[in-house]
Structure 1
Amino acid sequence: MINNLINKEHNMSENIDFCEVCLDDRAYTIKEEETIEYARGKEIKYIKKQAYCTECHNPMYIGKINDENLEVLYSKIREVDNIINIEQIKEILEKYSIGKRPLSSLLGWGELTITRYLDGDIPTKSYSDTLKLILEDVNKMSEILENNKSKISEVAYRKCRNRIEELKKSELAISADESNEHKIDNVAINIIRKCGEITPLALQKLLYYSQAFYKLFTGDYLFDNDCEAWIHGPVYRCIYDRYKCFGRGQIEINDSDEILLDEIEDYIVGCVVRYFGCYSGKILEEMTHSEMPWILTRRGLKKDVGCNRIIEKEFIDTYFKNVKDKYKLISIDDIKEYSTTLFNSIN
């Protein structure tokens, strides 16, 4: 062991314990020393506390200080070897509603293995990796549970099985939410590529019409996001934030950006681009200004007053159902007549 004294000493004369050299109770001071020890074939550096007798100045053994040093050393060993910690092991037990002994048995270890780890013993690297795997991967835990269910009680099995099913459902819900979050981005990229050249202003309006007509012809929303009734028409804030750096210029994107739309989605967005994307951003803005969803949402406001009021999806749905009836829209290609009429009405 190599000890390098650090110039940091705590005067703690009120601390008293038995000195084995003086053979009597003595006051002691504590010094912090940089120490190197070898564990698991590796050099471990850490700051160790050492008590010294104020009479003979020899080192003293103090139980609570020794425990603190071991805790620091074990923590460093875990850090160096990337070993799972006690809190993570507790998280496994809570996550899967399983006890210490049943978990040990499922993993094919001794019944008291998990108990020992929770008491401070350090797992081997392979055991640690297994625990980390099941902490992160519900499917792996499910596989282990099914393969080794005969090793635990029926009650423990059912409790863990039910919890795993809950976790899987939760993961599916999160996955769906994440997919919905990115859907509007994929639609935006699809529009940008189909147009070739498009400004942020025009993109917002084509997103608006894509959402409206997709809902009209399929009964489902193309994406979950709501738009706001800004001065320049309907705006999806997340898309505004993403492309506002282009100002009034043309949007540029990387060819590597993915487009994850199915055949129907792609076709409807393509029709919107074909029949509305032929107009400039300012024309599209005027078109949306003439429609009831934007007008109703901004009721009581002057045209030049900003607001973040959400254009309710119900307003949009009702308005475009009326459009469908008025223009006898049978298929998505029939929206051409509506776009032409709208354009003529503002000119």
Structure 2
Amino acid sequence: MQRETGFCVECRDVTSYTLQKKLVKKMIRGEELTFEITCAICDRCGEFMSVPGIIDLNVREVDEQYRKLKDLVTIEDIYTLMKLYNIGKAPLSIVLGFGEITITRYLLGQVPSKEYSDVIRNALFSPEYMEQKMLENKDKIAMSAFKKSMTKVNELKNIFTVSNKMIGVISYIFERMDEVTPLMLQKLLYYIQGFSFALNDREMFIENCEAWVHGPVYKDVYNIF
């Protein structure tokens, strides 16, 4: 366990403290939820200490756990979406059918509703969905912004040749695992397909794998990542 020093208001002295994980209950949107946060515990009296950076850390911990619990997109997801389609905050908000400053608020930390989160996630994982939203709101954004984003949409449509079922499985893997290498992803997809045949007597997705030097590979997935 990590030990540092800080001022303990109970001991009225500079003492060492230990960072420990504690469960806390918080009310969010009228619902009481339990989160695991990092706390600084005085080694002398055992009371909580306020040390530099601990509040910001707790805010991030609660935010990450809440988004994961409610299956909501992260700030990083939104930045990825903007980069994928070469689109700014305001145009993206309008294209997705939100208010003009909605994406800006989300990037500043506001947590989206499940409905808005699903819209963002659909755009992130489906160029066809993004194309549909772009065409629906074409007249509401500048033509230059529309053309730039549509160019990216068409590029991604040419890359994303895998089925929606495959994209769904990949999204599920990414959601459940902290880190997935391209090689690990290929092996997981191979095992998932095998288990589907063994347990359900049917394929999970329509793609066929190829035998490469380091094992089974779904070529289109390989090209994407």
Q: What is the match of residue 170 of structure 1?
A: 159
Corresponding position: 1:16 with 2:9? no
Corresponding position: 1:104 with 2:93? yes
Tell whether the 8 Å contact from 1:51 to 1:59 is kept in structure 2 after alignment: yes
Q: 2:116 aligns with which of 113, 117, 127?
A: 127
Corresponding position: 1:145 with 2:128? no
1:169 Cα deviation from its structure 2 partner: 2.9
Partners in 1 of 2:156 and 2:139 — Cα distance? 22
> TM-score normalized by structure 1?
0.42
Q: What is the match of residue 74 of structure 1?
A: 63
1:141 Cα deviation from its structure 2 partner: 1.3
Q: What is the match of residue 182 of structure 1?
A: none
1:149 Cα deviation from its structure 2 partner: 2.2
Corresponding position: 1:116 with 2:105? yes
Tell whether the 8 Å contact from 2:5 to 2:14 is kept in structure 1 after alignment: no
Secondary structure in 1 matching 2:119: helix
1:25 Cα deviation from its structure 2 partner: 5.6
Counterpart mapping for 1:173-192 below 5 A: none
Q: If you compute each CA radius of gyration, which structure gives the higher value, 1 or 2?
A: 1
Q: Counterpart amino acid of 2:144? A: V
Aligned alpha-carbon RMSD (Å): 3.1
Task: Pick closer, same or farther for the CA change 1:30–1:168 going to 2, 3 Å.
Answer: closer
Deviations 1:98-134 (A, max 9, x none): 1122101222334332233233332111110111111
Secondary structure in 1 matching 2:132: helix
Tell whether the 8 Å contact from 1:44 to 1:76 is kept in structure 2 after alignment: no
Secondary structure in 1 matching 2:112: coil
1:64 Cα deviation from its structure 2 partner: 1.0
Q: How many residues align?
A: 167
Partners in 1 of 2:31 and 2:146 — Cα distance? 40
Q: Which has the higher strand share?
A: 2
Contiguous gaps of at least 5 residues in structure 1: 1-9, 176-253, 258-347
Q: What is the match of residue 87 of structure 1?
A: 76
1:154 Cα deviation from its structure 2 partner: 2.0
Partners in 2 of 1:40 and 1:63 — Cα distance? 28
Secondary structure in 2 matching 1:120: coil
Q: Counterpart amino acid of 1:70? A: V
Partners in 2 of 1:11 and 1:77 — Cα distance? 26
Q: What is the match of residue 155 of structure 1?
A: 144
Tell whether the 8 Å contact from 1:101 to 1:111 is kept in structure 2 after alignment: yes
Q: Counterpart amino acid of 1:147? A: E
Counterpart mapping for 1:140-289 below 5 A: 140-171=129-160
Q: Counterpart amino acid of 1:16? A: G
Deviations 1:303-322 (A, max 9, x none): xxxxxxxxxxxxxxxxxxxx
Partners in 1 of 2:55 and 2:131 — Cα distance? 41
1:135 Cα deviation from its structure 2 partner: 1.5
Tell whether the 8 Å contact from 2:40 to 2:50 is kept in structure 1 after alignment: yes
1:55 Cα deviation from its structure 2 partner: 6.0
Partners in 2 of 1:152 and 1:25 — Cα distance? 57
Secondary structure in 2 matching 1:15: strand
1:76 Cα deviation from its structure 2 partner: 1.4
Q: What is the match of residue 46 of structure 1?
A: 35
Partners in 2 of 1:11 and 1:164 — Cα distance? 47
What is the aligned-residue identity percentage?
A: 33
Secondary structure in 2 matching 1:108: coil
Deviations 1:214-255 (A, max 9, x none): xxxxxxxxxxxxxxxxxxxxxxxxxxxxxxxxxxxxxxxx9x
1:44 Cα deviation from its structure 2 partner: 2.8
